[in-house]
Amino acid sequence: MYCVFSEIVERKEPARIRYEDDEVIVFDNRLRWVPVMLLVMPKRHVSQEELWNSDAIAKVGKVAVEMGKQYCPGGYRILSNFGPDALQSQHHGHIHVLGGIDLGQYA
């Protein structure tokens, strides 16, 4: 099955990469609902549930916090969508870092 996130990891699709190491990659979301929308994920393709039920979530979470502090010094929100009712559009496990503006009660 085609996965645009895996294609970005393999440099087959373009993305503005903000951070990368051997296990994790961070890039700008193509959606621009708020000024900062970063996607943080393991390079290895795993589902959302697999990510959250593995040791990888600790590393992904740590990187997400670092990115939030760096790109959203006034505050940020970290979230993850599970399933179509939550607007999950990609099967590659990931978390969002949102910020750069007062997010109010909901983003």
Query: For the segment 57-76, what is each residue's pLDDT rounded down to a tens digit?
Result: 999 999 999 999 999 999 99
How would you classify the pairing of strands 95-99 and 36-42?
antiparallel
Active site residues: 94
Residue-wise DSSP of 44-86: S---HHHHHTSTHHHHHHHHHHHHHHHH-TT-EEEE---SGGG
Task: Look at residue 32 and tell me whether its pLDDT is greater than 90.
Answer: no
Pick from 28-32, 34-38, 51-55, 95-99: least confident? 28-32
